[in-house]
């Protein structure tokens, strides 16, 4: 695992120096504290920071082919590199290291820009092809590893993280209003957008080729849309296939020359990963769990049951609000506004886990692949009752709208969400309502007239972004349409961003067996009724397949998620902190919001009329980001 960066000054004649690269590379040291490397030749240069995982002695970068005509830097892990290496040796390629990195160089020689199709793993890759005067960037299928880039007056500059990219010269810093609007709706900024105009994220499953002064981007992978489902395959055979695919995905992720463990939340997915790791390991698995002193937000008891069942070497940590002193560090780490509050416990569990291991497996992706989210059940139910009269649903919504809602995800909170869904039109609009904490209507009441004017036709970027994603899914069943959207939006842009930054800020590599593309391709060919049985049987096939490997309490429990007690924190330990940050003269002077809108949210929350914890968190993250990256900004 590494941090990478580079520059290609096409056509300008401006040479790239080591100092140019070092300015960026020094800001990636947390991603690779073990080593650094540089390559420069005239107008092109590559650099990296290395976290050594495989081939500790000879896996340094940048690395080249035999004659030095192709150079590469790479962030990630390739799990099938040994098989690829064997195939390339037969074709006559010569290797001087045992690293997965060198395999990619020769794969590019053999297949050109089609090389990512052959990779099984997580990666962000940059290749400088001297003969063709071509820079090639590639990102893995699910966006596990990030890659930012900008077209500059000189050419193209790229880096693993935005704050490193900003250290290069001529990187634009004009704020992107559409990105801010999307952030407040989705809690993340979706690629290819970034918070700055002119700076882009390379989209997942994409290759960018920059040559002759022009950049072109192509997709190299997608889920198998339109293929026949496996609905005529006997259930025992499906269970056997699922067991094999996931077990193999875990097995190949155990290759490491450094200590390795697992995040164990006590949920279905991380419990299955832990069980499969124990099956493939000849010594106790090291597991790590985090919880809160507020019991209803903690899953530590469930994690202990799995740890006992498999005899793991188990370690627990507890997050308290006083640990939130590091909020400014959290905002700085992400480089652009990011508001999933589970970033906080993810950061802490990564920090503590790194004390014992360098690599940790997790259960990310199980919900998307196998139908685990409660919103899937809600939208399936809504589809069944959509024929109820609109007047009846509207009356019910009016009746509960002003009831106190003590906590997000409580009964009345969910009922209000459900009724709103039932009154909406298209699937994208319903999905957006289910996913967002600030609805477009909420933002209309919060935005200043100046910001609405600045947004212009870019307003509600998130709605158009989701609608475009759903357009590709026509003909799929409801569950697979929802999963497809999650796997192209929320998972890569939200969850993968969170996990990459939280872990790499602590020099920890995380691996996600459920997000192996072979597992996902199999899961997407399953009919939706095997994932969500009836109206409440989430992850049915997954649970049935691994029933005998889980404690009964784990098998039968519902989804909890990585909840954070924000509502309590903003009425307690973080009350003064939020008000001092978000109601300050500087914050109000930025011009995004009507001050009366902010005060209304704050007063409703403090008075207990509604729980706005998640909205308040998003506003806080935006302000803390501004203080570190754009403190002088105002409309």
Catalytic residues, which ones?
2
Rounded to 5 degrees, φ, ψ at 99 are -85, 155
Q: Cα(592)–Cα(448) distance, rounded to whole angstroms?
A: 6
Instruction: Report the helix count and the strand count for the chain, using DSSP H and E.
Output: 28, 17
Q: Cα(627)–Cα(635) distance, rounded to whole angstroms?
A: 15
Q: Cα(56)–Cα(496) distance, rounded to whole angstroms?
A: 26
Q: Cα(147)–Cα(75) distance, rounded to whole angstroms?
A: 10
3-class state of residue 366 by DSSP: helix
Q: Is omega for the bond preceding 192 within 30 degrees of 0, making it cis?
A: yes
Q: Using CA of residue 480, residue 482, residue 486, residue 488, what is the dihedral sign? A: positive
**What secondary structure does DSSP assign to 86-132, as a single string?**
HHHHHTT---SS--HHHHHHHHHHHHGGGGGGG--EEEEEEEEETTT
DSSP state of 297: G
Residue with tokens 């005529």: 232
Question: How much of the chain is helix, strand and coil, in % rounded to 5?
Answer: 50, 15, 35
| CA 478 vs CA 327, 333, 399, 535: distances in Å | 38, 36, 29, 13
CA dihedral 346, 577, 599, 448 (to 10 degrees): -70
Q: How many CB atoms lie within 10 A of CB 380?
A: 20
The answer to whether 312 touches 271, Cβ cutoff 8 Å, is: no
**What secondary structure does DSSP assign to 553-621, as a single string?**
HHHH-----S---HHHHHHTTTHHHHHHHHTSHHHHHTSSB-HHHHHHHHHHHHTTSB--HHHHHHHHH
| Environment class of 286 (CB within 10 Å of its CB; exposed 0-12, middle 13-18, buried 19+) | buried
Rounded to 5 degrees, φ, ψ at 413 are -60, -45
Length of the chain in residues, anyone?
635
Q: Cα(148)–Cα(135) distance, rounded to whole angstroms?
A: 14
CA dihedral 478, 482, 483, 489 (to 10 degrees): 160
Nearest CA among 62, 75, 77 for reference residue 32: 75
Tokens for 554, please give them.
């784990």
DSSP state of 235: H
The answer to whether 76 touches 124, Cβ cutoff 8 Å, is: yes
Q: Cα(37)–Cα(512) distance, rounded to whole angstroms?
A: 28
Q: Parallel, antiparallel, or unpaired: how do β-strands 156-159 and 2-8 relate?
A: antiparallel
Q: How many CB atoms lie within 10 A of CB 302?
A: 23
Q: What is the maximal distance between C-alpha atoms in the chain? A: 74
Q: Cα(23)–Cα(600) distance, rounded to whole angstroms?
A: 44
Q: Cα(357)–Cα(353) distance, rounded to whole angstroms?
A: 6
Tokens for 635, please give them.
């409309």
């Amino acid at each position: 695992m590494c941090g990478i960066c580079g520059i290609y000054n096409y056509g300008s004649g401006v040479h790239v120096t080591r100092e140019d690269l070092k300015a960026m590379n020094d800001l990636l040291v947390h991603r690779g504290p073990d080593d650094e490397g540089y390559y420069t030749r005239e107008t092109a240069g590559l650099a990296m920071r290395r976290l050594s995982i495989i081939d500790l002695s000879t896996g340094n970068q940048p690395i080249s082919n035999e004659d030095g005509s192709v150079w590469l830097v790479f962030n990630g892990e390739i799990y099938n590199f040994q098989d690829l290496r064997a195939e390339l040796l037969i074709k006559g390629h010569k290797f001087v290291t045992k690293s997965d990195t060198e395999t990619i160089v020769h794969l590019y020689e053999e297949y050109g820009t089609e090389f990512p199709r052959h990779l099984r793993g997580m990666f962000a890759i940059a290749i400088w092809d001297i003969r063709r005067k071509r820079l090639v960037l590639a990102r893995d299928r699910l966006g596990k590893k990030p890659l930012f880039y900008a077209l500059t007056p000189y050419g193209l500059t790229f880096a693993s993280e935005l704050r490193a990219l900003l250290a290069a010269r001529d990187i634009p810093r004009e704020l992107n209003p559409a990105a801010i609007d999307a952030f407040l709706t989705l809690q993340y900024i979706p690629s290819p957008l970034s918070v700055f105009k002119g700076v882009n994220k390379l989209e997942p499953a994409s290759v960018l080729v920059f040559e002759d002064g022009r950049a072109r981007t192509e997709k190299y992978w997608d889920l198998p849309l339109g293929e026949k489902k496996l609905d005529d395959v006997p259930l025992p055979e499906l269970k056997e296939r699922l067991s094999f695919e996931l077990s193999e995905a875990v097995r190949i992720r155990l290759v490491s020359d450094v200590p390795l463990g697992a995040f164990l939340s006590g949920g279905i997915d991380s419990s299955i990963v832990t069980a499969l790791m124990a099956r493939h390991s000849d010594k106790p698995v090291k597991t790590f769990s985090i919880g809160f002193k507020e019991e209803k937000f903690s899953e530590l008891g469930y994690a202990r049951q799995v740890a006992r069942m498999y005899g793991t070497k188990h370690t627990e940590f507890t997050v308290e609000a006083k640990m939130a002193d590091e909020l400014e560090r959290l905002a700085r780490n992400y480089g652009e506004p990011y508001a999933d509050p589970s970033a906080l416990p993810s950061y802490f569990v990564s920090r503590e886990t790194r004390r014992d291991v360098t690599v940790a497996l997790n259960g990310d992706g199980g919900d998307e692949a196998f139908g685990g989210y409660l919103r899937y059940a809600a939208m399936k139910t809504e589809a069944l009752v959509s024929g109820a009269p609109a007047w009846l649903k509207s009356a019910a919504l009016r009746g509960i709208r002003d009831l106190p809602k003590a906590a997000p995800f409580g009964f009345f909170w969910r009922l209000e969400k459900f009724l709103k869904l039932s009154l909406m039109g298209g699937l994208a609009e319903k999905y957006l309502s289910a996913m967002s904490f600030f609805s477009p209507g909420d933002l209309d009441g919060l935005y200043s007239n100046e910001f609405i004017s600045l947004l212009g036709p870019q307003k509600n970027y998130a709605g158009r972004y989701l609608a475009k994603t759903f357009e590709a899914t026509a003909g799929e069943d409801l569950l697979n349409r929802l999963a497809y959207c999650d796997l192209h939006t929320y998972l890569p842009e939200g969850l993968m961003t969170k996990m990459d930054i939280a872990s790499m800020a602590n020099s920890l590599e995380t691996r996600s067996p459920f997000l192996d593309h072979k597992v996902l391709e199999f899961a997407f060919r399953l009919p939706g009724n095997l994932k969500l049985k009836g109206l409440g049987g989430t992850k049915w096939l997954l649970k049935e397949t691994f029933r005998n490997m889980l404690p009964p309490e784990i098998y039968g429990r519902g989804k909890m998620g990585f909840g954070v007690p924000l509502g309590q924190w903003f009425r307690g330990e973080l009350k003064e902190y939020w008000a001092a940050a978000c109601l300050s003269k500087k914050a109000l002077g930025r011009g995004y919001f009507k001050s009366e809108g902010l005060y209304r949210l704050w007063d409703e929350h403090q008075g207990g009329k509604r729980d706005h914890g998640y909205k308040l968190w998003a506003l806080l993250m935006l302000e803390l980001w501004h203080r570190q990256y754009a403190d002088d900004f105002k409309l």
